[in-house]
Amino acid sequence: MTASNEEQIEVIDRKRYRRIIWFFASITAHVIWWDLLVGRVFKGSVRRSRPLRFRQMSRRFRVLAVDMGGVLIKLGQFLSARVDVLPPEVTEELAGLQDEVPPVPYDEILVVMIAALGDVSNHFSQFEREPLAAASLGQVHRARLASARASANDQTSESVVVKVQRPHIEDIVRTDLAALRVVARWLMRYGPIKRRADVPALMNEFSTTMWEELDYTSEATNAERFAEMFAGDPSIRIPAVFRQHSTGRVLVLEDVSGIKITDTDVIEAAGIDLSEVTASLFDAYFQQIFQVGFFHADPHPGNLFINPVGPPLSSRSGRSRSFQLTFVDFGMVGHIEKLRGDNLRQMIVSVTQRDARGLAEAFNGLGFFLPGSDLDRIAEALTRVLDQMWGRSLIELSQPDPKEVQELSREFRDILYEFPFQVPQDFIFFGRALGMLSGLASVLDPNINPWSLVEKYGADIIRSQEALTFSRELLGEWARIFLTLPSQTKRVMTAAESGRLRVTALPDRSLLRRLDKIERRIGRPNWSLIAAALLLSGALFYVNDEQMMGIVSWILAALMILSTFFR
């Protein structure tokens, strides 16, 4: 690269950096103006206009992301998949980001390939100029290998897909991440976010994964590990890797094209049951997360395909056609440490058994609560939530009854006031994957009962040997408690008899606040009580022929009552 080219790229990067910063600054100013300032005065009108404003902001972001590409496309794809928590005005506007990433011209892609592979004709006998798909960091072309026996394991399939990085993508990613780090520091200036999430740390984890995704050698290793993981499952398909034709910037994989997982009409027309597709998707992720601890962290619709197996079945057969669930793009993966995995398994077993206390402890072990949080009170809230939500379908869960929400808010207002929740630093991609899976389930089968899946997976964990080990540890803990209970009880009774027993009450912040309010009220004059005394005094004056004093007492009492009313 010449000095003039490097200079030109540096100028483009500075412009790109300023453009990203300016966009997020304008969004921040918009939110502060409407929701924090104007919303305090005109609550109703601001609330009614919020969907339109969300749509306009989302459209602006989509235009920016399509124009600039890079990390912004990744961010938009993540948001578009969160149909379970984000309003439709946002997800609908960003949904197109899965498909409308502009491709790089073939001549520029060819330059990258020559730099990575040398003479391209030594690797491919045919290479399609038009890309099969364009993504944020690279794009995919169909091709045919120059040799039929081209892979290390002597495969004979010549049809492949070639994933090539975009030119100067490393400079683009470096610029985008630098700008987003500035935005992360802005967010840390907001108290509630600062107390509950280390946004710069989350950005560091995101940055690490982005750089790993740019290393196609690492992605090839991930793909081979997934192939090994599902080697015995014919319902899951992982493309084979052609290592001798791949480098850090070019990746050659088996062509496994199929039906995009969100093309529900096409899937149903092929005779495949959407509920079975949903179940297969969740089964695959259950194995990845709870059994192996290694999972595909980017399950957006462009990375999941359905391949029909065998001939179409007659509609009179009443059976669904067999299929394979195909995964592609293994650049973004997640790893779950053993401790995290133990807590995740405890979480799903606790939900299965409706054990709110165990669920609270699992969440606490995963780092979702601030230090010193009242787990007993949180367990009470989780009990109510489980009782109310158990058995409901996904669409019912996404549209809760406002009355139930209000009732829960009133009952557990102390938890909402304290808000003891935080975002664990190393759960950004786990949460991303679960959010995308929930969004896909909402598209494929909104009437699915997620609780039946939880019970199924919980039963699998309980039956597994690891769950038995967990149960033995739990029984051992109970045994230790049972054996030490008599001696502890004796010590307490001895201390009570000798007068050395002390009881320490932990501070209850909500109770302290209520007592403080009562104390302040007692400290102020009680006008209602004074008014009652004046009414009684006026009556006594009046019956004892002191009419004037009685009338004055009644007037003063009326003034006291009016004062109380206006207060």
Could you report the per-residue pLDDT of 203-257, keeping only the tens digit for each?
887 788 888 889 999 999 999 999 999 998 999 999 999 999 999 999 999 999 8
Tell me: the pLDDT tens digits for 547-559?
677 677 767 777 7
Coil vs helix vs strand at 28: helix
Coil vs helix vs strand at 96: helix
Instruction: State residue 300's pLDDT score.
Output: 83
Within this chain, do residues 274 and 318 fall inside the same structural domain, yes or no?
yes
- Asked whether residue 182 is assigned to any structural domain, the reply reads no
Residue with tokens 């993966």: 333
Nearest-10 Cα torsion for 382, 385, 389, 394: -70
Token output for 321: 């056609």
Which of the four pLDDT bands, split at 50, 70 and 90, describes residue 512?
A: low
The arithmetic mean of pLDDT across residues 187-194, rounded, is 77
- Asked whether residue 482 is assigned to any structural domain, the reply reads no
Within this chain, do residues 224 and 306 fall inside the same structural domain, yes or no?
yes
User: How many CB atoms sit inside 10 A of residue 220's CB?
Assistant: 22
- Asked whether residue 279 is assigned to any structural domain, the reply reads yes
Within this chain, do residues 267 and 354 fall inside the same structural domain, yes or no?
no
- Asked whether residue 141 is assigned to any structural domain, the reply reads yes
Q: Could you tell me if 68 and 16 are in contact, meaning their C-beta atoms sit under 8 angstroms apart? A: yes
Indicate the number of domains in the chain: 4
Within this chain, do residues 416 and 460 fall inside the same structural domain, yes or no?
yes
Which of the four pLDDT bands, split at 50, 70 and 90, describes residue 261?
A: very high
Long-range Cβ contact pairs of 527-534 (< 8 A, separation 24 or more)? 527/560, 527/561, 527/563, 527/564, 527/567, 528/560, 528/561, 528/564, 530/560, 531/557, 531/558, 531/560, 531/561, 531/564, 532/557, 534/560
Q: Could you tell me if 348 and 458 are in contact, meaning their C-beta atoms sit under 8 angstroms apart? A: yes
Last residue of a domain, one of 98, 129, 162: 98
Residue predicted with more confidence, 43 or 486: 43
- Asked whether residue 498 is assigned to any structural domain, the reply reads no
- Asked whether residue 181 is assigned to any structural domain, the reply reads no
Coil vs helix vs strand at 68: helix
- Mean pLDDT, the chain, integer: 80
Whether the predicted pLDDT of 11 surpasses 60: no
Which of the four pLDDT bands, split at 50, 70 and 90, describes residue 544?
A: low
Instruction: State residue 152's pLDDT score.
Output: 44
Which of the four pLDDT bands, split at 50, 70 and 90, describes residue 434?
A: confident
Within this chain, do residues 530 and 392 fall inside the same structural domain, yes or no?
no
- Residue 536's domain spans which residues? 525-566
- Asked whether residue 347 is assigned to any structural domain, the reply reads yes
Within this chain, do residues 432 and 468 fall inside the same structural domain, yes or no?
yes
Whether the predicted pLDDT of 356 surpasses 70: yes
Which of 103, 129, 74, 84 is closest to 303 using CA atoms?
74
Within this chain, do residues 112 and 66 fall inside the same structural domain, yes or no?
no
Residue predicted with more confidence, 220 or 67: 220
With pLDDT > 90 as the criterion, what percentage of the chain qualifies? Answer: 33
Which of the four pLDDT bands, split at 50, 70 and 90, describes residue 43?
A: confident
- Asked whether residue 262 is assigned to any structural domain, the reply reads yes
Within this chain, do residues 134 and 204 fall inside the same structural domain, yes or no?
yes
Within this chain, do residues 278 and 367 fall inside the same structural domain, yes or no?
no
Q: Tell me the one-letter amino acid at 519.
A: E
Whether the predicted pLDDT of 529 surpasses 80: no
Within this chain, do residues 271 and 406 fall inside the same structural domain, yes or no?
no
How many residues can be counted in the chain?
567
Within this chain, do residues 93 and 113 fall inside the same structural domain, yes or no?
no
Last residue of a domain, one of 69, 98, 127: 98
Within this chain, do residues 550 and 438 fall inside the same structural domain, yes or no?
no
Whether the predicted pLDDT of 461 surpasses 50: yes
Q: In what order do the strands lie in the sheet with 323-327?
A: 236-237, 323-327, 304-308, 259-260
Which of 474, 424, 479, 12 is closest to 196 using CA atoms?
424
Whether the predicted pLDDT of 477 surpasses 90: no
For residue 51, what are the contacts with CB-CB under 8 A and spacing of at least 6?
A: 87, 89
Token output for 226: 């997934």
Instruction: State residue 510's pLDDT score.
Output: 54
Last residue of a domain, one of 98, 125, 160: 98
Whether the predicted model's global pTM rises above the 0.75 cut: no
Tell me: the pLDDT tens digits for 73-112?
888 877 776 655 577 888 888 877 766 778 899 999 999 9
